[in-house]
């Protein structure tokens, strides 16, 4: 797993992918910071993260699109399949590499609360829980996108499919809040929503159920990705 992890991590920054992801993330984060904190002169970090959480929908497909589909496109998959590495550890190596790039970009965004704290008091527990929830949400989107892109062979179709599913997840969580949707359905969707689960983290609550949900979600999606990626070739018929 470590070999694949290190290779993928380097590949992100040897190619444009890692730089584009980090650059676009910081550009969007700067815009959101300007709109939510600088312009209204507010030190409340919650609206910043609330709005920023939608960037995962756009950005995680950039990280994920080449992870599995790229191997098929470049025909490098036999190298991994014929290595002693188990399919799951190979997949985990790729997943953790994408999560590390996400984490690096998020760490750079610590500059915003740091800047804010110079001019106004910042409630640190809120910053901590918001960052925790934000990172977990990003990692969950990566796992979801990995599962979606696992059967695909083209990086462009992988990016389009991942973005489509992310958009669907957002629309469903948006519709669940609509008055025309039955309350029970709305609550059920909110319970399973990657956006709904993020809300408690914004109000300085260390939501253990939220952490557990995101972790379980990642495990399920990675299992699906492993099944889709290896099922076809390893099935006996």
Listed ranges 27-35, 46-54, 76-84, 192-200: which one lies at the site for other proteins (CB under 8 A): 76-84
User: How far is the CA of 51 from the CAs of 96, 99, 154, 165, 218, in angstroms?
Assistant: 25, 20, 31, 19, 22
CA 109 to chain CA centroid, Å, is 16
Whole-angstrom distance, CA of residue 109 vs CA of residue 100: 14
Q: How many residues bind other proteins (CB under 8 A)?
A: 27
Q: Which residues contact 209 (CB under 8 A, 6 or more apart)?
A: none
Among 71, 63, 209, 48, CA closest to 134: 48
In the bound state with other proteins, the residue whose beta carbon lies nearer, of 78 and 164, is 78
86 binds other proteins (CB under 8 A): yes
Listed ranges 28-36, 72-80, 163-171, 183-191: which one lies at the site for other proteins (CB under 8 A): 72-80
In the bound state with other proteins, the residue whose beta carbon lies nearer, of 47 and 77, is 77
Whole-angstrom distance, CA of residue 237 vs CA of residue 235: 6
Among 15, 43, 157, 203, which residue interacts with other proteins (rule: CB under 8 A)?
15
233 binds other proteins (CB under 8 A): yes
In the bound state with other proteins, the residue whose beta carbon lies nearer, of 148 and 226, is 226
Among 85, 92, 122, 160, which residue interacts with other proteins (rule: CB under 8 A)?
85
Whole-angstrom distance, CA of residue 55 vs CA of residue 48: 12
**Both tokens of residue 156?**
């462009």
Listed ranges 24-32, 75-83, 124-132, 199-207: which one lies at the site for other proteins (CB under 8 A): 75-83
Can you give the binding site for other proteins, defined by CB under 8 A? 2-4, 6-7, 10-11, 14-15, 74-86, 233-237
């Amino acid at each position: 797993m470590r070999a694949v992890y290190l290779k993928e991590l380097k590949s992100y920054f040897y190619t444009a992918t890692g730089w584009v992801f980090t650059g676009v993330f910081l550009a969007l984060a700067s815009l959101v910071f300007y709109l939510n904190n600088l312009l209204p002169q507010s030190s409340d970090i919650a609206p910043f993260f609330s709005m920023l959480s939608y960037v995962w929908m756009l950005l995680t497909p950039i990280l994920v699109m080449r992870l599995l589909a790229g191997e098929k496109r470049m025909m490098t998959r036999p190298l991994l399949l014929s290595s002693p590495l188990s399919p799951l550890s190979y997949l985990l190596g790729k997943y953790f590499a994408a999560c590390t790039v996400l984490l690096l970009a998020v760490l750079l965004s610590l500059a915003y609360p740091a800047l804010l704290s110079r001019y106004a008091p910042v409630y640190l527990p809120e910053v901590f829980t918001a960052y925790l929830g934000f990172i977990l949400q990003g990692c969950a989107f990566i796992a979801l996108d990995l599962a979606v892109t696992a059967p695909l062979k083209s990086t462009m179709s992988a990016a389009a499919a991942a973005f489509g599913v992310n958009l669907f997840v957002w629309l469903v969580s948006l519709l669940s809040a609509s008055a025309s949707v039955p309350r029970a359905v709305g609550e059920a969707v909110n319970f399973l929503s990657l956006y709904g689960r993020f809300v408690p983290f914004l109000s300085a609550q260390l939501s253990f159920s939220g952490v557990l949900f995101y972790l379980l979600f990642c495990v399920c999606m990675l299992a699906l990705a492993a099944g889709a990626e290896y099922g076809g070739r390893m099935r006996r018929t």
